[in-house]
A and B are shown apart, each in its own frame.
Chain A
Amino acid sequence: MNPIIHAVLAFLQTWWVELVCGVVIVAVVPLVAGYLVLLERKLMADMQARLGPMRVGPHGLLQPIADALKLLIKEDIIPDHADKMIFWLAPVASMTAALTAMGGIAFGPSFLVARDINVGLLFVVGVSSMGLLGIMLGGWASNSHYSIMGSLRSTAQLVSYETAGGLALISGLLLAGTLKIRAIVDAQEQYGVWFVFLVPVAFFIYLVASIAETNRAPFDLPEAESELVAGYMTEYSGFRWACYFLGEYANMIVVGAVATTLFLGGWLRPFPHVRWMNWLDAVPAVFTAAVGAYCVYRAGKQPVRVQVWFMWGVALTCFAVALILGVPLLVAPLKFMVPGLNGAFWFLLKISAYIYVFMWLRFTLPRYRFDQLMHLGWYILIPLAIVNVLAVGMAMILEMQYGWNRWLAMLPTTMITLAAALYLLYLNDKRAAAASSAAPPPEEPSTGDSYAG
């Protein structure tokens, strides 16, 4: 046989799982991201007393597809003085980083996306940070003032918050003692408690840092539409713009998955070890069935026939999922499927909750200013994260060497960190007060002619 074909076959034999996973990620994530946008718009509309997208498809459900099509067929514009090669490459880099990071994530005990790498979490966090490169280069290559300011902001912001977020992750990793995704969740099962309850401050720091890392409000300074038009994306349109967008939403899923894995117990159900809570195993099936039933109830109230059909469609899908989730519970030979299916359900539920918090904050809070953002990062979050790491280390020593009870050991950790947080906030207030009483900037005579066009 031709040696090339041979080599290809050998390659495929070793890597076919990863290849299939890659294809699945590239095929599924854009769709998920599109519907995440729709969900966000719907949630925003709900909080703002309006309806949101309603025109394309029933309740605007085809809106993401219409948007994607529009973006694909849009005229491809590259500004005259742009650095074409980098301009072309930047959004791709941004999107690739986010999608590659998805490869390291496990969506349940049996749904490991690519493979259980021994540096799993490090891989995910590291690769997703590479997206920064795309943002930086994109702003640079556009050769526009707004773009470069956006990308400078973005660089500073990501470097600072990556530090805080990384330190927060270390607090969790100290407890887990491993970087492997699956082993981290196993560790939480052994502890019998999600790490968020042992190191709540670390979780909080990671939450804030991950919002900043994904450029979401109130930290969306790199693309602040009221200041920098669209920041680093100002000159982008069409498919390239969609790449950035996709990268941003894929990144949200990634940070959600990291937080879920490390702090929220991954695919474990609440109270994994409490026997009398075993009825929680039935929750996924019952929950989806209830959603289906609600859709049937709503179907009768829809004004248009298409919407009635649609509601029935959703209901039937829900029932089918409920069936898949429920049957293994009842049929003994299929019992081995329960942990995997339920695990995926809980995992997705936790990611959704995490992303919901992101969206909720976005609709509620005004945007930080750049200096405030930097102060928050460097004066509060990073010192706090360092204190937290040290305190967790202390607690581990107390527990392992002196045999303290785990909760007793962890309590002072949280107390110390909260005390540090209060002190830092006090310092911050003092600094702000000092800054505001400082003399105003020196007067400069206005040299420009206001009437010159």
Chain B
Amino acid sequence: MQDDAAQNQTLLGADELVLNMGPQHPSTHGVLRVKLKLDGERVRGTECVIGYLHRGVEKIAENRTYQQFAPYVDRMDYVAAVSNGLGYCEAVEKLLNVEAPPRAKVIRTIMTELQRIASHLVWLGTHALDIGALTPLFYCFREREEILKIFEKYCGARLTTHAFRIGGLQYEAYDSFEKDVERFCKDFERRIQEYVDLLTGNSIWIGRTRNVGVLSAEDCIALGASGPVLRASGVKWDLRKAQPYAAYDQYKFEIPVGTNGDTYDRYMVRMEEMRQSRLICLQAIENIPAGPILGKVGKVLKPPAGEIYHSIEAPKGILGYYIVSDGTTQPYRVRIRPPSFINLQALDKMARGHLVADVVAIIGTLDIVLGEVDR
């Protein structure tokens, strides 16, 4: 009994209540653990505890050949496996000093943009669910399913696709590839309007997201945040435009930016990004150049000794690969710059002073995937 009394004393008498959110919690998007210091419902501080999903991806790379490691990167950001693959393949190509043929580049672009839409759909569904809207999740997954079907038809896998190969592609686009992508893009315009109808003008949604988790442009840059988080704060920085890779320099698209850097702006930026990705896909399927799909790379990859850094604009932000080669078939060191891990740093800054319910919204708006945070 005395024990009970003592416990109650600390529970209610303390000025600060420490609440362990996670690693088992419905809205920490996996196994994130956040220690919240609460004053009533107000957050006085947060502390992220990560590593519950650590698999040592970077270390594994040192014991695999370059080709063998490619499937492993799919398992980092598992809702955007294609983008991870693109970044890795291009980095190794840069190291080998080879270039993928134009046809491969265009198909890669289409696949990556579809993956961006799929990733943003997962974000939208779960973010809305965290804020309490049950229905958008199912609509989002309905559309995502269409994209996953295209992936499945293309390479046989839906989630961890390993769609690309170093030097180009392994598989030729299947017969009705263009038609499938076009049909999806045509439908998607109408579907996205459904989410807009449910959320954009909804006063509860606006109340829950406006001025919640505000990050200024300076904060974003200081924290190294990238992707939609950075752009919602008004910084127009997108690697697809700034350092074009794959075939992005051939297409016209806009980089949406926000003004306030709050959760609502991040929502609007990602929604617009989905529309822009759709436009890129539509432009790309109009003219897929003919030709080979695999560049001149040997069966055994032995890049010259040296180091390379290559980064792409993944759905969640800048995904960078730093590879050091010692001239053997295995990389000497692979360092990955994961966008989720670095964006997650902003959590404390964003959540401080808000309520518990906002922490959930902020974790959602950061769009983290724990597979990538922990690697």
The answer to whether A226 and B210 have CB atoms under 8 Å apart is no
Q: Knowing A143-B11, A149-B41, A366-B202, say if A450 contacts B132 (CB, 8 Å).
A: no
A203 to chain B, nearest CB (A): 21
Which A residues lie within 8 Å of B356 (CB)? Answer: 149, 227-228
Q: Knowing A368-B207, A371-B355, A444-B352, say if A218 contacts B142 (CB, 8 Å).
A: no
The answer to whether B35 and A448 have CB atoms under 8 Å apart is yes
The answer to whether A119 has its CB under 8 Å from any CB of chain B is: no
CB-based nearest A residue for B12:
A148
The answer to whether A329 has its CB under 8 Å from any CB of chain B is: no
Stretch at the interface among B44-52, B152-160, B175-183, B272-280: B44-52
Which B residues lie within 8 Å of A153 (CB)? Answer: 41
Across the interface, B45 reaches (CB within 8 A) one of A145, A146, A448, namely: A448
The answer to whether B139 and A226 have CB atoms under 8 Å apart is no
The answer to whether A366 and B132 have CB atoms under 8 Å apart is yes
Across the interface, B360 reaches (CB within 8 A) one of A44, A227, A370, A441, namely: A227
A248 to chain B, nearest CB (A): 17
The answer to whether A448 and B47 have CB atoms under 8 Å apart is yes
CA distance A218 to B202 in the complex (A): 12
CA distance A50 to B45 in the complex (A): 41
CA distance A237 to B139 in the complex (A): 31
Q: Knowing A366-B128, A446-B348, A448-B45, say if A50 contacts B138 (CB, 8 Å).
A: yes
The answer to whether B132 and A367 have CB atoms under 8 Å apart is yes
The answer to whether A81 and B7 have CB atoms under 8 Å apart is yes
CB-based nearest B residue for A447:
B45
The answer to whether A81 and B41 have CB atoms under 8 Å apart is no
The answer to whether B131 has its CB under 8 Å from any CB of chain A is: yes
Q: Knowing A363-B135, A365-B204, say if A444 contacts B44 (CB, 8 Å).
A: yes
Per-residue A-contact encoding for B136-156, CB less than 8 Å = 1, 0 else: 011100100000000000000
The answer to whether A85 has its CB under 8 Å from any CB of chain B is: no
Which A residues lie within 8 Å of B335 (CB)? Answer: none
Across the interface, B139 reaches (CB within 8 A) one of A49, A440, A444, namely: A49
The answer to whether B19 and A145 have CB atoms under 8 Å apart is yes
CA distance A450 to B202 in the complex (A): 37
CB-based nearest A residue for B142:
A49
The answer to whether A436 has its CB under 8 Å from any CB of chain B is: yes
Q: Knowing A225-B26, A226-B27, A368-B207, say if A441 contacts B11 (CB, 8 Å).
A: no
The answer to whether B193 has its CB under 8 Å from any CB of chain A is: no
The answer to whether A78 has its CB under 8 Å from any CB of chain B is: no
CA distance A236 to B130 in the complex (A): 22
A-side interface size class = 35 or more
CA distance A443 to B349 in the complex (A): 9
Which A residues lie within 8 Å of B130 (CB)? Answer: 226
Which A residues lie within 8 Å of B11 (CB)? Answer: 143, 145, 148
The answer to whether A369 has its CB under 8 Å from any CB of chain B is: yes
The answer to whether B211 has its CB under 8 Å from any CB of chain A is: yes
B291 to chain A, nearest CB (A): 41
Which B residues lie within 8 Å of A333 (CB)? Answer: none
Interface residues of B in 73-107 (CB under 8 A from A): none
The answer to whether A48 and B45 have CB atoms under 8 Å apart is no
CA distance A217 to B128 in the complex (A): 14
The answer to whether B196 has its CB under 8 Å from any CB of chain A is: no
CA distance A264 to B50 in the complex (A): 55
Q: Knowing A50-B138, A364-B135, A436-B211, say if A441 contacts B35 (CB, 8 Å).
A: no
Counted as pairs of residues, one from A and one from B, with CB atoms less than 8 Å apart, the total is 118
The answer to whether B214 has its CB under 8 Å from any CB of chain A is: yes
CA distance A443 to B350 in the complex (A): 11
Which B residues lie within 8 Å of A277 (CB)? Answer: none
CB-based nearest A residue for B138:
A48
B167 to chain A, nearest CB (A): 39
The answer to whether A450 and B47 have CB atoms under 8 Å apart is yes
Which B residues lie within 8 Å of A450 (CB)? Answer: 47-49
CB-based nearest A residue for B137:
A48
The answer to whether B295 has its CB under 8 Å from any CB of chain A is: no
Which B residues lie within 8 Å of A81 (CB)? Answer: 3-4, 7
Per-residue B-contact encoding for A420-451, CB less than 8 Å = 1, 0 else: 00000000000010001000110110111010
CA distance A218 to B205 in the complex (A): 11
B231 to chain A, nearest CB (A): 21
The answer to whether A47 has its CB under 8 Å from any CB of chain B is: yes
The answer to whether A398 has its CB under 8 Å from any CB of chain B is: no
Per-residue B-contact encoding for A346-386, CB less than 8 Å = 1, 0 else: 00000000000000001111111111100000000000000
The answer to whether A3 has its CB under 8 Å from any CB of chain B is: no
Which A residues lie within 8 Å of B47 (CB)? Answer: 446, 448, 450
The answer to whether B221 has its CB under 8 Å from any CB of chain A is: no
CA distance A153 to B44 in the complex (A): 19
Which A residues lie within 8 Å of B49 (CB)? Answer: 450, 452-453
B302 to chain A, nearest CB (A): 38
Which A residues lie within 8 Å of B202 (CB)? Answer: 365-366
CA distance A347 to B25 in the complex (A): 42
The answer to whether B17 has its CB under 8 Å from any CB of chain A is: yes
CA distance A453 to B52 in the complex (A): 10
The answer to whether A208 has its CB under 8 Å from any CB of chain B is: no
The answer to whether A369 and B355 have CB atoms under 8 Å apart is yes
The answer to whether B45 and A444 have CB atoms under 8 Å apart is yes
The answer to whether A224 and B357 have CB atoms under 8 Å apart is yes
The answer to whether A44 and B139 have CB atoms under 8 Å apart is no
CA distance A176 to B4 in the complex (A): 52
CA distance A372 to B135 in the complex (A): 22
The answer to whether B7 and A365 have CB atoms under 8 Å apart is no
Interface residues of B in 32-54 (CB under 8 A from A): 35, 41, 44-45, 47-49
A113 to chain B, nearest CB (A): 33
Which B residues lie within 8 Å of A49 (CB)? Answer: 138-139, 142
The answer to whether A370 and B207 have CB atoms under 8 Å apart is no
B128 to chain A, nearest CB (A): 7
Which A residues lie within 8 Å of B134 (CB)? Answer: 44, 48, 217, 362-363
The answer to whether B360 and A226 have CB atoms under 8 Å apart is yes
Which A residues lie within 8 Å of B355 (CB)? Answer: 369-371
The answer to whether B372 has its CB under 8 Å from any CB of chain A is: no
Which A residues lie within 8 Å of B358 (CB)? Answer: 369
Across the interface, A436 reaches (CB within 8 A) one of B135, B142, B210, namely: B210
The answer to whether B236 has its CB under 8 Å from any CB of chain A is: no
Given contacts A81-B4, A148-B11, A371-B355, 17 further A-B contacts (CB under 8 A): A143-B8, A148-B12, A221-B357, A224-B357, A228-B356, A229-B25, A366-B128, A367-B208, A368-B132, A369-B207, A369-B357, A369-B358, A372-B207, A436-B210, A446-B45, A446-B348, A453-B49
Can you pick out 18 interface pairs between chain A and chain B where the beta carbons lie within 8 Å of each other? A44-B134, A48-B134, A81-B7, A149-B356, A217-B134, A225-B26, A226-B26, A226-B132, A227-B360, A364-B198, A366-B133, A366-B199, A368-B132, A369-B355, A444-B44, A450-B47, A450-B48, A453-B49
Question: Interface on B for A, CB 8 Å cutoff?
Answer: 3-4, 7-8, 11-12, 17, 19-20, 25-27, 35, 41, 44-45, 47-49, 128-135, 137-139, 142, 198-199, 202, 204-205, 207-208, 210-211, 214, 348, 352-353, 355-358, 360
CB-CB nearest 5 A-B residue pairs:
A367-B132, A441-B353, A48-B138, A226-B27, A366-B133
